[in-house]
Structure 1
Amino acid sequence: MIDAHITETVRLHAESMEKNGALCPEVLELIHDRGLFKLFVPKEVGGRMLGLPEALQVFEDAARADGSFGWLVQIGSGAGFFATVMEPGAVRQLFAHRNFYIAGSDRPMGTARKTPGGYKINGTWPFCSGASHASLFTATCRIASDDADDGKLQAFAFTPEQVEIDEDWNAFGLKATGSHIIHVADAFVPEHHRFDVADPHFHFDHPVYHYPFQPFATANIASTAVGIARHFFEASRTHIDRKQSSWMEKTPERYDQVNRLLAEHEAAFLRAREDFYNTVESSWHSHLEGSPLEESHLDAVVGCSKIVAQAGIGGAQAVLRHLGMDVIMEDHPLNRIYRDLHVASQHGLLVDMTGEAADL
């Protein structure tokens, strides 16, 4: 699904998108044409509805083209899961648009007060990737009422007109994701735009919706890190070849030494990538056969996701230090890829329990 035309177009605009902090119209048009934000949206409402292993490969290929592009394809597609928890009428109304994209947060940082026909919402939520091009926003609130729902966590869907975007995303990587903070003040949300992410109804159904969520989400993010890492190793090889003549003049052995270092770390990364996909494939086949997924199997998916992300970021760190002064400049392509890999790998789902990370 991510062909040479998409890759070339995305990379052509990558530098300007980073400077502008958002995807450009040309790239968004390609995404909408190919339905790349709809990989987990039911076919009944115009989605692509892929199986998990196939979708992971698309996420990797998208991130291999560019980190911010890949991150948004992955995050945008993941919102397709809401089709299982929202009312069918709302799904048909909101998900069928060509430019469908949900930005939002699962952090319980809002309040919802009951009012006739729905709720009045107030809240502020950070890290809403793709906020600038979202057709819909979702966020988690705590119910404030005098009945049994008081204090209950629920999710709500808002239209773009109800949301104020505060462009605060100043991370040093994935700059074009526009992962800004959003504010909602006294917005009325009808009852049928309220949903419980822990209570799916499966009005629209597919095996991917029944796959356990944590390993699903972890694998999605890992595949994005994998794609960025592959791009880094490939771009490093191109950079080394371009530097060959100048390096040979000053330090003849440097070219071969750096090439060997690159090959060593890339090989270790590719072994971890193979283990990652094999583990996901095994769990997916068991899932399709109706076999209950054992805890050890799911732990293996999460574990391999963390290992491959670490192999990518660790290898990139080891190689970058030997690539020369050119790559420390922010406008160098390798610098951007390296920073994107750091930010994608910083997600809490990819960091071991002994480490610390801020959730994206």
Structure 2
Amino acid sequence: MNRRRFLTVLGGGAIALAAGYFIYQGFIGAPSRERRLALYSWEEEVFFDPPITYGDKEYDNIVDLFREFYPDIELTTSYYGDQDRMTADLLAGKKVDVIAPCIDYIPVLYENNLLEEIDTGMMENWDKMFSVLKDITGVRIEGKVVFIPTNYGTEAIDYRKDLFDANGLEYPESWLDFFQPWNLGFDKLDNKRRILMPDDYKIGVAMAALALGYNLDRDNDGLWELTDEELQNCKELLIEQKPYVLRYSEEVDSDMPTLMAGGDIFMSLGWAPETLELRDEGYDVVYLLPKEGPLVFLCGNSIVKGTENYEDAVKLVDFYAGPIIQRYFAEEYWYGISNEEVVNELKEDNPELVEALLLDKPTEALAQGHFEYPFKEGQEELWSQVWDEVLSA
């Protein structure tokens, strides 16, 4: 399960650990130099598969690559599979210098005094970042920069344009269209069950809430909540959509490409990477950012409070925001990236990738998007109950 799936599936209390989480944790790098630096990150940001090529060498891990640029710093690494584990380890006293959180956990980390302010004047790549990323709540807290975003992704709508054309359907433009497919002409189909939905109460209810124009973070406190009336309206909309749903899937990111390629579904919750895969295979798939805004994850790096290696920690944070890692995130992981200079280079080298991932339009994805935040206390049970009632209706 990759980072995106963890962000979608977990979504519960920010630091409550559920028994039985499957945790990846490993270590590379044996400290032998005087200047030592410890990174605690996602596995995919520690190990590179495929390797990164720089010059005439290949690097399959961050330790060896970072050493090429900073031979006097001995970097050690450990990695986690979810942010609950990362947060709990830090609260328990795990000693590291740099972490790789996503923006939904920044308020929790900051409130627990786990983050250092980052001196962006010491960075080479801060001024190369898209300006829209610099003032997002979580990047700055109380005027302090505590998080450097390096990559982001959206959850939006995928649809088969050729199948819409062949059946005389109107193209969707919004989440509301996704939930009211009769307005697109689905009722004239012989089989109108052509939508794939996630079997996920958090994302499913959130999609419906956006379709109805609700603000998931009305208090701007980085916590999702809906009123009882809003939840009831979401339930009714989800039930109205049910006759058009082929399947509620626990693995939408793997089921969607197969079902869409086979023509079993015309429309689904989707992501840019799956869209690219389908296009590469010759399918006429459109990735739509709905007018109400997509769901968004934004990840990057922070420096842990109390580090004794502050200047070197800034160098590592800056390295992840720099051209080598940024290009790799875009070309291999198909993430949106924060470094505008790298995006401009990719426009020349790989314009199809830039267009497909909307790499040059972060404002469209982020300023109008809705960050995936944890639930406000008491909300998770209510959302779960609504979802159970939808599935049993």
**TM-score band, normalised by shorter chain:** under 0.3
Q: Per chain length, whose mean CA-contact separation is higher, i.e. which structure has more relative contact order (CA < 8 Å, sep 6+)?
A: 2
Please, what TM-score do these two structures have when normalized by structure 1? 0.27
Please state which structure has a larger fraction of its residues in helix: 1
